Structure 1
Amino acid sequence: MNGHRYPAGLPMPAVCRTTLRDGRVLTVTATVRPRADRADVKCVVPGAPALGERMAEVVRLARLTEPRFDSRVQVVLGMDGVPAQGERNWELAAVLADRMARDVWRPAAGLEEVSALGWSEAWQLGRVDGYDAPPALPAAPPGAVLLLGGADLPHLGALTGHADPGAAVSAVRAWFPLHSGGINDALAWVEVSVSPLDGAEAGEEDTIAAVGVGVDAAVQQAVRQALAGARHFDGRGLGRWRTVVRFGEPRFAGDSYQLALVMADRLARGREFVPRGRLIATGSSAAWHAGQVDAVAGLDAKAALILAEARAGDRVLLPAAWGAALPPGWIDALRAKGASCACVERIGVI
């Protein structure tokens, strides 16, 4: 069933069960309530806050494959137990409980009890890769349905007889230098996944989510503001996309990732030419709505890191303010490795 349900009082919770590798049965419960400026998803696993964060990430990624978006409700999910380290069968159960709570999906009439086992390496594509087999599969008595990830349920579209939803998702990564002052310096990636949005009932920022354990509220807000501003400058990006942002390394400080973020978003939406190799960028902005690219700190260390890590085909974008301050011979050394570089003042004219 498609659509949304907004009861006046407390709604009945949606329940989906899962079975772990050791045979334990866990129950995932999802309840809808008015959002009231709270997070769109709240996950509670007593004694395991990191698992709660991971559950919220799974649910948000899977929502990317839904054609409609509504920000008026919060879904609260919880489990009545704690899976062992590395257990993942609960992932499909959490996704389905979330969808049942919002009436995005319901099992066929007469099937009131749902059990699901499954996990995915790419929930943002709607893919269900498989499940970890328990000693014995739970029985499916009359009035119950058992869903197994993988061969039986290869993707979330199969729940409603639709095509693979991953075909409608465009996901692109860009890289940025992550400088920590030592051996841990590295090129980190930011990935933007977009899917067409049908009838958004929210502002642009509400359709953008940054997910991942360690991505805090400040980063969430900065990501939303940067993309919403850059899309305003783009002139064609507003109100058309459901967006999920992931970071390869979510724990960092500063905003020098923002140019890479904005460029990954433009590439995902088909607004830029795709480079032969990676797109590596650093830069921030006080006015993304004007397309402006500002300088960031750490020029020498970041330039050295980019030069050391660059490969043939890579495209490097730096703030225009860095152009005259780059070390002598840096651009020639980069080109000798088969990479290219541009120092840009604005996006859209790269």
Structure 2
Amino acid sequence: MCRTVLRDGRTLLLTATVRPRANRADVKCVVPGAPALGERMAEVVRLARLTEARLDSRVQLVLGIDGAPQEGERNWELAAVLADRMARGAWRPPRGTGEVIALGWSDAWQLGRVDGYDAPPALPDTGPDMGPDIGQSTSARRELVLGGAGLPHLGALTGHADPGGSVSSVRTWFPLHSGGINDTLAWVEVSVAPLAADAPLPGADEEDTIAVPGVDAAAQLAVRQALAGARHGDGRGLGRWRTAVRFSEARFTGASYQLALVMADRLARGRDFVPRGRLIATGSSTAWHAGQVDAVDGREAKLALILAEAAAGDRVLLPGAWHDALPPGWAGALRAKGASFACVDRVGLI
């Protein structure tokens, strides 16, 4: 259990328990009447776990909160991360602590960073916990954890270095075509952190090490399968990483992001050369384990969007099947902007 205090002074209790996973989701968050908050809570927990060296995919975390913070309230984020770690034994508060109270938020939990906290009207007292009888105290004291200067990163919980130093994050872009003014270049970000040599436990597979917070279950499965498949062709790709994947646009359909995803993963793991500018890619595959790149729908619209958005130094990767169908003048116009492109049939050194 872990408490937090909101900007308006309310105190909320977060309760975390673990149970055998039994083919269920790794994290389940229960927030009555606020499903969006439950999704965000699960996202925070999954991203923060990226900075842990050891992986145990055999348990499910069930996390609940006894009230609903107002929109924009974020002090509960650090409390959720600590409740998760205490329930799994990944962190233990100092000896003699009776209750942990945590206030903090982050825009980069996947790096283990804690940016700060929103100050309530008054910080809670850190004196002894009160016993069941009024006026009766116990010897255990409250532990107050404040994000920011008090706890700049999660490694400080155990006296370790900033875990963000071991996380490699890369963004690539892909054309998101919806047939109108909302067409845009969206990004996918892959963050990888090395696993300890003995980290994967018996029964764990590559997909268990990949977290995709913020998207629906079908998209999570597709991302995990694509990355796990693409790593099969990499002699040093499997069983070595914990991975978090984020999208700038969480709600989309289709699989044309997959080449951008695979390339972001390869760049983050040092398996390909980084372009001077952005890497923009579109393509999918029915055989990522063989490195195969297949064509996707919407060729004309996506090529037009890429040409309009490309800038000097950008590198564009397209399916090899598009090579003979590029619009007249498209390649020259792209090069005139200072960008380059290649049509590829397989992923490797591109």
TM-score under structure 1 normalisation? 0.95
Deviation at 1:187, TM superposition (A): 0.2
Question: In structure 1, the residue corresponding to 2:113 is in which secondary structure?
Answer: coil
Q: Which of 168, 171, 174 does residue 172 from structure 2 map onto?
A: 174
Distance in 2, matches of 1:209 and 1:144, equals: 33
Q: CA deviation at 1:267?
A: 0.3
Residue 233 of structure 2 aligns to a residue in which SS?
A: helix
- Which residue in the other structure is 1:157 paired with? 155
| 1:234 partner SS | coil
Which residue of structure 2 lines up, in the alignment, with residue 124 of structure 1?
110
> Aligned partners of 2:99, 2:164: CA distance in 1, in Å?
28
| Aligned-pair CA distance for 1:107 | 0.6
2:213 equivalent in structure 1:
211
C-alpha displacement of 1:141? 1.4
Structure 2 CA distance, aligned partners of 1:329 and 1:345?
22
Point out 4+ residue stretches in structure 1 off by more than 6 angstroms. none
1:123-272 paired onto structure 2 within 5 Å? 123-142=109-128, 143-198=141-196, 199-201=199-201, 202-212=204-214, 215-272=215-272
Distance 1:167 1:112 in 2: 32
| Structure 1 residue 349 displacement after superposition | 3.5
Residue 44 (1) aligns with residue 44 (2): no
Shift of 1:234: 1.4
Q: Deviation string for 1:215-258 (max 9, x for gaps)?
A: 11111111011000100011210000000100000100000000
Q: Please say which of residues 270-279 and 136-145 is displaced more in the overlay.
A: 136-145
Q: Distance in 1 between matches of 2:265 and 2:194?
A: 13
Question: Residue 77 of structure 2 corresponds to which residue in structure 1?
Answer: 91
Cα distance in 2 for residues equivalent to 1:209 and 1:67: 14
SS at match of 1:188: strand
Instruction: Output the aligned Cα RMSD.
Output: 0.6
C-alpha distance in 1 between matches for 2:187 and 2:245: 11
* 1:286-322 deviation per Cα after TM superposition (whole angstroms, max 9, x unaligned): 1000000000000000000000000000000000000
Report the AA paired with residue 99 of structure 1.
R
Structure 1 residue matching 2:51: 3-state secondary structure: coil
Q: Is 1:24 matched with 2:10?
A: yes
Matches within 5 A, 1:60-99: 60-99=46-85
Deviation at 1:325, TM superposition (A): 0.4
SS in structure 2 of the partner of residue 55 of structure 1: helix
> In structure 1, what is the Cα distance between the partners aligned to 2:287 and 2:234?
13
Describe the SS at the equivalent of 1:308.
Answer: helix
Tell me the secondary structure at the aligned position of residue 338 of structure 1: coil
Q: Which amino acid aligns with 1:210?
A: V
Cα offset, 1:336, TM superposition: 0.3
Matches of 2:240 and 2:106 in 1, distance apart?
A: 26
Q: 2:262 aligns to what SS in structure 1?
A: helix
1:58-112 C-alpha deviation (Å, 9 max, x unpaired): 0000000000001000000010000011000000000000000000001111112
Distance 1:217 1:195 in 2: 23
Contact 2:272-2:349 within 8 A present in 1 as well: no
Q: Which amino acid aligns with 1:200?
A: P
**Aligned pairs, number:** 334
Give the secondary structure class of the aligned counterpart of 2:3. strand
**What are the Cα deviations for residues 238-284 of structure 1, in whole angstroms up to 9, with x where unaligned?**
00000010000010000000000000000000001110100000000
Counterparts of 2:337 and 2:98, CA distance in 1: 61
AA paired with 1:153?
Answer: L
Letter matched to residue 182 of structure 2: N
Percent of aligned pairs with the same amino acid:
80
Instruction: Supply the distance in 1 between the matched residues of 2:231 and 2:8 (Cα, whole angstroms).
Output: 48
For the residues of structure 2 that align with 1:170 and 1:91, how far apart are their CA atoms? 23
Once residues 288 and 319 of structure 2 are traced to their aligned partners in structure 1, the CA distance between those partners, rounded to angstroms, is 13
Query: Structure 1 residue 209: deviation in Å?
Result: 1.2
- Map of 2:19 onto structure 1: 33
